[in-house]
Amino acid sequence: MSVEYLGEKIFLQEIGAGGEVWVARGGYRNIYAMEIDNLGFSLPVWSNRERVVAFLQNARLLGPPYEPHAIPLDVFTNAWLSDKMKAIAELQINPDGKATRVLCLTTEEFTASQVPK
């Protein structure tokens, strides 16, 4: 079993148990994300508030300060990821703000993981 698989499995278990996904939201209700060429955006998501706080302490972000913000899992999966205006192409799973590598899932992989088994 790879470290990436374990990281994905733990993340999915944590968001399933908590029923929410966490993002970093700015003072203007903007969400921290990174543009991926013409594909859309790469959205960092976390499984709990503490992980967002740690990221914000470690990352060197420009602009207004960001705060942890919870999104109900069903709203995130059914509304956010299907909203073409948001153009979310991939999700960065629990980035820590220090590592140069991060585990990513496409929106399709994430959505498929949320289907009840």
Q: List b or e across 51-71, with b for residues whose CB sees 16 or more CB atoms inside 10 angstroms.
A: bbebbbeeeeeeeeebebbbb
The pLDDT score that the predictor gives to residue 56 is 94
Per-residue pLDDT of the chain (117 residues; tens, 9 = 90+): 566 667 888 999 999 999 999 999 998 889 999 998 887 999 999 999 999 999 999 988 877 799 999 999 999 999 999 998 889 999 999 999 888 888 999 999 999 988 665
Provide the 10 A C-beta neighbour count for residue 31.
18
Q: What is the pTM of this model?
A: 0.89
Domain 3-113 CATH class label: alpha beta
Give the C-alpha separation, 52 to 31, whole Å.
12
By the 8 A CB rule, do 91 and 43 touch?
yes
Chain position carrying tokens 């820590």: 96
Short-list 30, 98, 21, CA closest to 58: 98
Give the C-alpha separation, 14 to 11, whole Å.
5
Helix, strand, or coil (residue 36): strand
